[in-house]
């Protein structure tokens, strides 16, 4: 490199000076706009206030989420998040085997990033509390930037310690332990193309089934022709997933992203997920459109209708474990309220508001809609439609 620079300098001093000026100009430009994923840079100081609403399949979940991130000195960045789900549920499972309910889930997390040279270390603690479920997750990851900051390698580990309870039985308590291992590579491929490859293994051990959910079995003694009994899942589950994303800067100022994920686990669920995203800025707006497709096979112990009571060692009728196909269309608009041009609002340098709508549709291949009250075996397959709305304000300081 030095030889090449020397030769270039000897050949054309003027050209070299122009190159240096160009580099300086672009360095300033990069410092102004970078901050997210390039090497050796801590995340920006930023706060987000979000409201979310999920409405579909008889379930309504809404609440706020607040995330604040702030640097402390030059090498540490702290982050905190507080999140609430307020749930009103009369889902297909609840309607057919239980009673509608309301509940609240509160989650908070604290984390820190420590930057040393080209290495970033992150620790995070997350706590989630419901009336009948507590979850604690401890995570650690380390990222190393390499090859002139073209490559970022990240290794991660997380440990989950959950406690499952029943609201109608104060003596019921079961443990669930989770361990998550991940490795990811983010790679700049060309001046216009960045990609990331992530591999993640998750192992669960403990009480994995839902204590309220039931399976259906054929029962000639019942007026409906079937009855219900509690689910019984295996006590372990290990899943592997690999995901590849690539984002390309188009010849005009817009970007396109493709993503694919392959998933497989020890319950015989195999899934393929793909999505295509288009991002288009216009004046102070940024518009995003996305289509996502997911297809999976069902768990080996899943059945919509078991032949008899206790027909198999393990049994489940959780519709998420059925073979299914889901489609999502996402529309998002973001508006820059305050641009990063020096006209600050006090200590706030930049601000934006974003709104997004996800339209989710799920076709279940093996989960009957029992509310149709059709003769056993001829019930229609269930379909889920859900609207997921988010609005959030972001502030940089």
Partner 1 sequence: MTMNIRSIARILLAALFVAGLSACGPIEPWVKPYERDKLADPIMALDADAVSTSYIQHVYESREGARGGEGGAGGGCGCN
Q: Any contact of residue 247 with partner 1 (CB under 8 A)?
A: yes
- Nearest CA to 324 out of 275, 381, 278, 279 is that of 381
Q: Which is nearer to partner 1, 122 or 315 (CB)?
A: 122
- Min dist. Cβ of residue 343 to partner 1 (A): 18
Name 34's Cβ contacts closer than 8 Å, sequence gap at least 6. Answer: 41
Question: Where would I find the beta strands (DSSP E) of the chain?
Answer: 46-56, 59-72, 76-89, 101-116, 119-129, 133-146, 151-166, 169-190, 193-206, 214-218, 226-230, 236-249, 255-265, 270-282, 285-296, 324-338, 350-368, 381-396
Footprint of partner 1 on 292-321 (CB under 8 A): 294, 296, 298-299, 320-321
Residue 66 tokens read as: 């607040």
Stretch that binds partner 1, among 103-111, 218-226, 303-311, 370-378 (CB under 8 A): 103-111
Helix (H, G, I), strand (E, B) or coil at 17: helix
Q: Which is nearer to partner 1, 188 or 370 (CB)?
A: 188
Residue with tokens 């509940």: 103
Q: Any contact of residue 392 with partner 1 (CB under 8 A)?
A: yes
Stretch that binds partner 1, among 217-225, 228-236, 278-286, 368-376 (CB under 8 A): 278-286
Q: Which is nearer to partner 1, 136 or 338 (CB)?
A: 136
- Min dist. Cβ of residue 145 to partner 1 (A): 11
- Nearest CA to 297 out of 280, 274, 317, 272 is that of 272
Q: Any contact of residue 143 with partner 1 (CB under 8 A)?
A: no
Q: How far apart are CA 385 and CA 22, in angstroms?
A: 52
Residue 115 tokens read as: 């930057």
Around Cβ 194, how many Cβ atoms within 10 Å? Answer: 20
| Cα–Cα–Cα angle for 130, 52, 66, rounded to 5 degrees | 75
- Min dist. Cβ of residue 224 to partner 1 (A): 27
Helix (H, G, I), strand (E, B) or coil at 243: strand
- Min dist. Cβ of residue 219 to partner 1 (A): 27
Q: How far apart are CA 32 and CA 351, in angstroms?
A: 15
Around Cβ 116, how many Cβ atoms within 10 Å? Answer: 9
Residue with tokens 């994920």: 261
Member of 162, 216, 217, 370 binding partner 1 (CB under 8 A): 162
Footprint of partner 1 on 9-48 (CB under 8 A): 22-23, 26-27, 29-30, 33-34, 36-38, 48
Footprint of partner 1 on 193-222 (CB under 8 A): 194, 196, 198-202, 210-211
- Min dist. Cβ of residue 332 to partner 1 (A): 9
- Min dist. Cβ of residue 261 to partner 1 (A): 5
Around Cβ 94, how many Cβ atoms within 10 Å? Answer: 17
Size (the chain), residues: 397
- Min dist. Cβ of residue 310 to partner 1 (A): 24
Member of 153, 218, 232, 255 binding partner 1 (CB under 8 A): 255
Residue 256 tokens read as: 């396109």
Stretch that binds partner 1, among 216-224, 235-243, 305-313, 367-375 (CB under 8 A): 235-243
Q: Which is nearer to partner 1, 227 or 240 (CB)?
A: 240
Q: Which is nearer to partner 1, 227 or 275 (CB)?
A: 275
Q: Any contact of residue 386 with partner 1 (CB under 8 A)?
A: yes
Stretch that binds partner 1, among 112-120, 186-194, 223-231, 368-376 (CB under 8 A): 186-194
Q: Any contact of residue 231 with partner 1 (CB under 8 A)?
A: no
| CB-neighbour burial class of residue 235 (10 A; exposed 0-12, middle 13-18, buried 19+) | middle
Q: Which is nearer to partner 1, 160 or 217 (CB)?
A: 160
Member of 254, 311, 337, 381 binding partner 1 (CB under 8 A): 254
């Amino acid at each position: 490199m030095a030889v090449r620079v020397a030769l270039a300098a000897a050949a054309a001093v003027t050209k070299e000076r122009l190159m240096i000026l160009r580099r300086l100009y672009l360095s300033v430009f990069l410092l102004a706009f970078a901050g997210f994923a390039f090497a050796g840079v801590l995340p920006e100081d930023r706060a987000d206030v979000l409201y979310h609403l999920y409405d579909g399949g008889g379930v309504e979940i809404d609440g706020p989420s607040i995330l604040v991130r702030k640097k402390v000195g030059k090498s540490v960045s702290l982050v905190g998040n507080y999140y609430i789900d307020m749930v009103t549920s009369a889902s297909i499972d609840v309607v057919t085997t239980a009673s509608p309910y309301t509940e609240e889930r509160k989650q908070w997390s604290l984390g820190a990033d420590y930057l040393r040279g080209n290495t970033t270390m992150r620790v995070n603690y997350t706590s989630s509390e419901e009336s009948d479920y507590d979850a604690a997750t401890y995570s650690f990851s380390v990222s190393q930037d390499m090859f002139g900051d073209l490559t970022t390698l990240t290794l991660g580990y997380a440990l989950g310690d959950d406690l499952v309870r029943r609201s109608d039985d104060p003596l019921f308590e079961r443990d669930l332990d989770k361990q998550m291992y991940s490795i990811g590579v983010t790679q700049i491929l060309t001046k216009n193309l960045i990609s990331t490859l992530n591999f993640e293994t998750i192992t669960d051990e403990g009480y994995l089934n839902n204590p309220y959910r039931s399976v259906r079995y054929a029962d000639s003694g019942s007026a409906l022709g079937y009855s219900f009994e509690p689910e019984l899942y295996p006590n372990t589950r290990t899943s592997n997933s690999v995901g590849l994303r690539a984002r390309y800067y188009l010849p005009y100022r817009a970007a396109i992203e493709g993503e694919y994920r392959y998933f497989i686990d020890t319950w015989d669920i195999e899934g393929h997920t793909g999505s295509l995203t288009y991002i288009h800025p216009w004046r102070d707006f940024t518009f995003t459109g996305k289509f996502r497709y997911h297809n999976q096979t069902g768990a080996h112990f899943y059945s919509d209708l078991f032949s008899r009571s206790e027909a198999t060692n393990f049994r489940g009728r959780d519709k998420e474990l059925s073979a299914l196909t889901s489609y999502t269309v996402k529309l998002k608009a973001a508006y820059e309220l305050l641009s990063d041009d020096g006209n600050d609002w006090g200590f706030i340098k930049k601000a934006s508001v974003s709104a997004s709508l996800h339209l989710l549709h799920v076709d279940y291949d093996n989960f009957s809609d029992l509310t149709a009250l059709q003769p056993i075996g001829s019930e229609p397959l269930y379909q889920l439609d859900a609207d997921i709305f988010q609005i959030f304000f972001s502030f940089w300081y």
